[in-house]
Chain A
Amino acid sequence: MSEAISLRRSTLGAPGAGLALRKRLRAVADAAVHPLTLDDVLDHFHPLRRDTELRGRIVSVTPETAESATILIKPGKGWTGHVPGQYVRVGVDVDGVRLWRTYSLTHGPRPDRNISITVKAIPDGVVSGHLVHRARAGQLIHLAPAEGEFTLPTPLPGKLLLVTAGSGITPVIGMLRNLFLRATPVDADIVLVSVNQSESTAIFRDELREHAAKGHITLIERFDDRDGLLDVDTIDALVPDYAERLAYACGPAGLLDALEQHHAERGLELTTERFRPVALATEGEGGSVTFTKAGTEVEADGATPILDAAEAAGVLMPSGCRMGICMGCVLPMKEGAVRDLRTGELTVAVPGETHADGVPIQTCISAPAGACRIDH
């Protein structure tokens, strides 16, 4: 292998010269399409190529339950892979508006390089509803590189405890698929406590039972409508040897808080993954606006434009017409919510869900609706 590479290199001549030539050709191409770049033009023909914004094309949408579906995605060539348990930020255009959300990757690295996410449509969830019910094969979506620390260590410890609730199963199914789809299955003692509201809403129910039947895992199923809400103290009875197991948990905050306390009290380690790290205040009017670069915090009521409040507090702000028409005052909001004073419309930015560069807002017609952070 290394020989082949060195051979190919030698036919190209000095590697530096090839690179310099490529750079020069690239500069000519960019000059020929100014003010665009070559990438802007190529995007119209090959949006999934390397060296461009990371995108993916939906290969298929497979329903899992009535309210959830697995979206198989062919990622662009720039996708650098992921470790099972990690998540990906996905940018989807819903009613023409690009919205970003984070979903766990449910398929481990596959031979065809495709990745998948499994989405549960939550009530009033704009993006989840869109992905489950309206997304179609062939559509382009936007991606960010995989992130997340919720991954299994290597080598794998002998005993594992996985606790999931609802769509908390999604990072875990990725782990299990990766472990058991290999030619030589791993030899590990895995207990999975899978909590769901009811049997019919349990995602991957059959696949998990199949893993259990094959002896891959010990599956403990809990359904709220049958067994009542899970009390974490019953873990002691459900999994008597839990103290010997490396523990992972993913699910709603209530369950994770209780589990963390349970394990901490016993001096045990627990790795958790939370769906939504920040509780967002979208109710109520007004709030504090933090300007990250200026290092200033400004209080504003729900009727005062952020621009006015900031200027009154001495923050140097870009501004223009001050009536919402010239876009001279647009700044990226990294976190929080603002209300359009003309329409009452709410714009929300959630780190990890909305675009990493923030959501651009017009400060001259926006008032804070809760605390918000603006990159300026």
Chain B
Amino acid sequence: MTTVTNKADNPIAHLSEQDIAEIGEKLDAIRQEVIDSRGDDDANYIRGMIDFQRKLELGSRAVLLFSVLPPAWLIGTAGLSVAKILENMEIGHNVLHGQWDWMRDSKIHSTTWEWDNATPAENWKHSHNQVHHTYTNIIGKDNDLGYGIMRVDEEQKWYPMYLAQPLWNFVNACFFEYGIAAYDLDLGRNLSRPKDKRPESFKRGVKATLAKIRKQATKDYVVHPLLSAPTGSLLPTLAANFVANVVRNLWSHSVIMCGHFPEGVETFELASIPEKESRGAWYLRQMLGSANISGSKLMHIMTGNLSHQIEHHLFPDLPSNRYAEVAPKVRAVFDEYGLTYLSRPLPQQVASAWHKVVRLSFPNGWLETTNAKNLPQQLAALYKIATADKRKRRVMLRLLERKAAEQQELATAA
């Protein structure tokens, strides 16, 4: 991945200003059609989903009261995992986007909703709705790209610490809700500031987040295990809650990685975005900066319809249950203007995203120039690069990139 403007083969070079304006108008029309037809069916959908999710969670927790029995543990843990996934993905994420605000139901409103997650809704709405959705895939502006701890783009400088990024990514996936909480607080940047220079909003955010984490942990790791204690199910319930949280975290991390990480998704340079970006240009950035997951209806629901990431990024406040219906119309716009609509099944997208994490953990060109035969030499070279001083490393990195390019040329020539 290279920012669009730095690519040899710029995927939007063929579009005129006029084209981009037209794309904007066409997408606006698609959006308007849905807004005009919102009604009872949509309201019933989200109310039904919330009703189902709460009853599933309640039922699963009831079963877990007897989780000392292995079948009860399995059923309860599976049910709770699904309930937590639905709560975060199809309900929480979408309600917090204001997708259901039009119903004017104070109980299902972005300003009143709180979710089953370590990060308070208020913090998340800022970092996600505001920063990520406005500055989608702009390097340096959109921290969702690598969450500030990973190298996700060839143009980002390589440091030896990135070698461990596949491991970090896995740990982050297991404890994703805490990773998100830290990310919403901009923890890394704020901790590196002297104490008295940290903004007031950060201190407030930390307080709110700690309070939220305490309540979340009390529920899953104190109250429910204690309620299960009379049947001797204290520890099994504790384990079940932990497993359900990890399953939910792994799942949501995977889904979210598929949205903007897979190979083929474009990123943008801040300098290339005009001060007043036109509606069409903003749409275009969302179109190229997102990727979909293809699959069944069940898959769409379990991903909170983030399987329709492209549609979601174009219309973040349309009800999630309508993305499937607008997808073919959106795709037709892609086709009409010769743009690539990225959509693959979940395993392929996840693999693609992980491949990128691994590839970029190495210096540019290293993986491409490595094969089974030269592995020892390559490892030795990598060790040298990692331990070299700044200046020497820069030279070695450039050499490696050149070598990879030459190899590529030879391969194409052959």
Least CB distance from A303 to B in Å reads 16
How would residues 322 to 358 of chain A score, 1 for a CB under 8 Å from any chain B CB and 0 otherwise?
0111111010000000000011010000000001010
A12 interfacial by beta-carbon distance below 8 Å: no
Chain B: which residue is nearest A28 at the CB level? Answer: B223
How would residues 282 to 300 of chain B score, 1 for a CB under 8 Å from any chain A CB and 0 otherwise?
1000000000000000000
A362→B111 CA distance, assembly (Å): 11
Taking CB atoms, residues of chain A closer than 8 Å to B219 are 31-34
B369 interfacial by beta-carbon distance below 8 Å: no
How would residues 223 to 248 of chain B score, 1 for a CB under 8 Å from any chain A CB and 0 otherwise?
11001000000000000000000000
- Given A96-B103, A320-B129, A327-B129, residue A31 in contact with residue B35 (CB < 8 A): no
B interface, size bucket? 35 or more
Chain A: which residue is nearest B121 at the CB level? Answer: A35
Taking CB atoms, residues of chain A closer than 8 Å to B110 are 327, 330
Taking CB atoms, residues of chain B closer than 8 Å to A345 are 35
A99→B133 CA distance, assembly (Å): 30
Q: Is the CB of B43 within 8 A of A328?
A: no
Some 26 contacts from A to B, beta carbons below 8 A apart, are A31-B219, A32-B227, A34-B215, A35-B116, A44-B54, A95-B40, A96-B41, A96-B42, A96-B43, A96-B103, A98-B103, A320-B134, A325-B97, A325-B133, A325-B316, A326-B316, A327-B125, A327-B129, A328-B126, A328-B129, A330-B98, A330-B110, A343-B35, A357-B106, A360-B109, A362-B98
Q: Is the CB of A355 within 8 A of B104?
A: yes
A20 interfacial by beta-carbon distance below 8 Å: no
- Given A355-B106, A357-B106, residue A320 in contact with residue B130 (CB < 8 A): yes
Within residues 250 to 277 of chain B, which ones have a CB less than 8 A from any CB in chain A? Answer: none
B105 interfacial by beta-carbon distance below 8 Å: yes
Contact of B317 among A31, A33, A325, A355 (CB under 8 A): A325
Q: Is the CB of A328 within 8 A of B134?
A: no
How would residues 44 to 63 of chain A score, 1 for a CB under 8 Å from any chain B CB and 0 otherwise?
10000000000000000000
Contact of A31 among B41, B114, B215, B316 (CB under 8 A): B215
A95→B41 CA distance, assembly (Å): 8
Q: Is the CB of B104 within 8 A of A359?
A: yes
Taking CB atoms, residues of chain A closer than 8 Å to B227 are 32
Contact of A321 among B40, B61, B105, B129 (CB under 8 A): B129
Interface majority SS (helix, strand, loop, mixed), chain B: helix
Contact of B58 among A28, A41, A324 (CB under 8 A): A41
Q: Is the CB of A343 within 8 A of B126?
A: no
Residues of A bordering B, CB below 8 Å: 28, 31-36, 40-41, 44, 93, 95-99, 320-321, 323-328, 330, 342-343, 345, 355, 357, 359-360, 362
Taking CB atoms, residues of chain B closer than 8 Å to A342 are 28
A96→B322 CA distance, assembly (Å): 15
Chain A: which residue is nearest B116 at the CB level? Answer: A35
Q: Is the CB of A360 within 8 A of B105?
A: no
B202 interfacial by beta-carbon distance below 8 Å: no
Within residues 15 to 72 of chain B, which ones have a CB less than 8 A from any CB in chain A? Answer: 28, 32, 35, 38-44, 51, 54-55, 58, 61
Taking CB atoms, residues of chain B closer than 8 Å to A97 are 43, 102-104
Least CB distance from A132 to B in Å reads 17
Q: Is the CB of A96 within 8 A of B38?
A: yes
A359→B130 CA distance, assembly (Å): 22
Taking CB atoms, residues of chain B closer than 8 Å to A321 are 129-130, 133-134
Least CB distance from B142 to A in Å reads 13
B101 interfacial by beta-carbon distance below 8 Å: yes
Chain B: which residue is nearest A357 at the CB level? Answer: B106
Least CB distance from A270 to B in Å reads 37
A324→B99 CA distance, assembly (Å): 11
Within residues 282 to 332 of chain B, which ones have a CB less than 8 A from any CB in chain A? Answer: 282, 316-317
A41→B59 CA distance, assembly (Å): 12
Least CB distance from B101 to A in Å reads 6
A343→B317 CA distance, assembly (Å): 14
Taking CB atoms, residues of chain A closer than 8 Å to B224 are 32
Taking CB atoms, residues of chain B closer than 8 Å to A343 are 32, 35
Q: Is the CB of B38 within 8 A of A32?
A: no
- Given A320-B130, A325-B129, A360-B111, residue A41 in contact with residue B43 (CB < 8 A): no
Least CB distance from B274 to A in Å reads 15
B334 interfacial by beta-carbon distance below 8 Å: no
A32→B222 CA distance, assembly (Å): 9
Taking CB atoms, residues of chain A closer than 8 Å to B61 are 32
Ordered nearest first, which 4 A-B pairs have the shortest CB separation? Answer: A96-B43, A327-B98, A326-B129, A35-B114
Chain B: which residue is nearest A326 at the CB level? Answer: B129
Extra contacts, 16 of them, besides A35-B114, A320-B130 (Cβ < 8 A), are A28-B223, A31-B215, A34-B218, A35-B216, A93-B103, A95-B40, A96-B43, A98-B104, A321-B130, A325-B97, A325-B134, A326-B125, A326-B129, A327-B98, A327-B110, A357-B106
Least CB distance from A146 to B in Å reads 21
Q: Is the CB of B109 within 8 A of A35?
A: no
A360→B98 CA distance, assembly (Å): 11
A97→B101 CA distance, assembly (Å): 9
Q: Is the CB of B55 within 8 A of A44?
A: yes
Chain A: which residue is nearest B92 at the CB level? Answer: A35
Q: Is the CB of A96 within 8 A of B129?
A: no
Q: Is the CB of B105 within 8 A of A98?
A: yes
B115 interfacial by beta-carbon distance below 8 Å: yes
Taking CB atoms, residues of chain B closer than 8 Å to A41 are 54, 58
A360→B317 CA distance, assembly (Å): 15
Chain B: which residue is nearest A359 at the CB level? Answer: B104
Q: Is the CB of B39 within 8 A of A96?
A: yes
